[in-house]
Amino acid sequence: MSLNRPIRVLIAKPGLDGHDRGAKVIARALRDAGMEVVYTGLRQTPEMIADAALQEDVDVVGLSILSGAHLALVPRVRELLNANGMGDLALIVGGIIPEDDKPALLAAGVQAIFTPGANTEDIARTIHEIVDGKAAPA
C-alpha cells in the first residue's frame, strides 16, 4: 500500500562534520522522488535532532555522518526518539560507516545504512518500502 500523501523525511547531520555536500545531494534526490525533506544543517546535537523530528512529525530520520562518531551519535539519537514516544519512527544512516560497525548500528535500531557510492534511487526506494511497510495493515 502506498500513501496518498508525501513521505516526510528529516535529514540531519549530528556531530562536527565540516561539510554537508552528501546530505544535500540526498535531500535533493529525495525531493525529486516526491518526498518532503526537512533539512536542518550542520553540527546538530542528538537532542536537537530528536526535538526537530518530534515537531516535524516525520516518517523517517536520516542521519549523515562522516566523522567516525556514528557509534556514539546514532544510538543516542535512537534513545532520545524512543524516549519521546517515537519508537516506531524509522532511522536510517548514511556516510562513512565501516563494514564492521554495521551490525552494531542495526542492533541499535537503525533500519538501513548507506555508504559512499550508494545509488540515490535505492535510498528513495528503501525509504518507500520502510514507510509503506509500516502503513500497511498488519
Partner 1 sequence: MSLAQRLLNGDRRALARLLTYVENEHPDGEAALSDLFGHTGRAHIIGVTGAPGAGKSTLVTALAKALRAMGKTIAILAVDPTSPFTGGAILGDRIRMVDLTNDPGVFIRSMATRGSLGGLSRASRDAVRLFDAAGYAIVLIETVGAGQSEVEIARIAQTVLVVEAPGMGDDIQAIKAGILEIADVLVVNKADRPGVDTTVRALKLMLELGHPALRANIDSHHGRMVAVTPQPEAPNGNSAFWLPPIVQTTATTGGGIEPLIAAIERHHAYLRESGTLATLESRQINTELHERLRELLLRRLLDALPPHAIEDAVARIQRRETTPHEQIAQLVDAEQQPRL
Choose, by CB under 8 A, the member of 14, 23, 35, 81 that binds partner 1.
35
In Å, how far are 5, 13, 81 from 98, measured between CA atoms? 35, 18, 24
Site track for partner 1 across 78-117, x = CB under 8 A: ------xxx-------------------------------
Pairing of strands 60-65, 8-12: parallel
Nearer to partner 1, 50 or 105 (CB): 50
Grid cell locating 49: 535532532
**Residue type at 134 in one-letter notation:** K
Choose, by CB under 8 A, the member of 2, 16, 21, 55 that binds partner 1.
55
The C-alpha atoms of residue 19 and residue 100 are separated, in whole angstroms, by 25
Grid cell locating 4: 496518498
Choose, by CB under 8 A, the member of 36, 79, 108, 120 that binds partner 1.
36
- Judged by the rule CB under 8 A, the positions of this chain that interact with partner 1 are 5-6, 8, 27-28, 30-41, 44-45, 47-48, 51-52, 54-57, 84-86
